[in-house]
Chains A and B, each alone.
Chain A
């Protein structure tokens, strides 16, 4: 069974204090790993897709990296507006028809204080 575990559950940072969020995963075969941001009362907002170990993607203050067992979301010099829940999800290559199914972690709640 596919599993995704995110850590820490919650992270408090001061503005400008860089840090990383972790996403550990267990899948039969990885098609893709996705990062989403979710603000309170809203649906998840797509950030990145990573396909293979060693891949990196960047967007503004965010950088996502991927290894064979985990992914990291690095936040450089965060601002209060980066406060949100960050969700990691995997899509498995199970040889079946579940091309659409994403398995999500529980999320990391990030709070950035000014």
Chain B
């Protein structure tokens, strides 16, 4: 199985400030079609996860442009340009290249 790790696991943030989460995979997530099969999800308190970023850097429909994804191969980053109150929750990365699809342990983002 591809093992996913994230850092940090806890991220206290200040509203209006930027934030960044790292995700690393034990194998390259580069598909033969040239895309990296790495997604980012946000699970807000009491809710289901929601898709933020797919195949590494594409924002899902309705996701604010303050969210961006980057990276390739085994190293990926989710950046929030200016954190807002609605951004608190747990962020997960997931690889969709090889079954079983696997998730990172999650990064809990809350306010300082």
| Pairing of A with B | no
Which residues of B are in contact with A by a Cβ distance under 8 Å? none
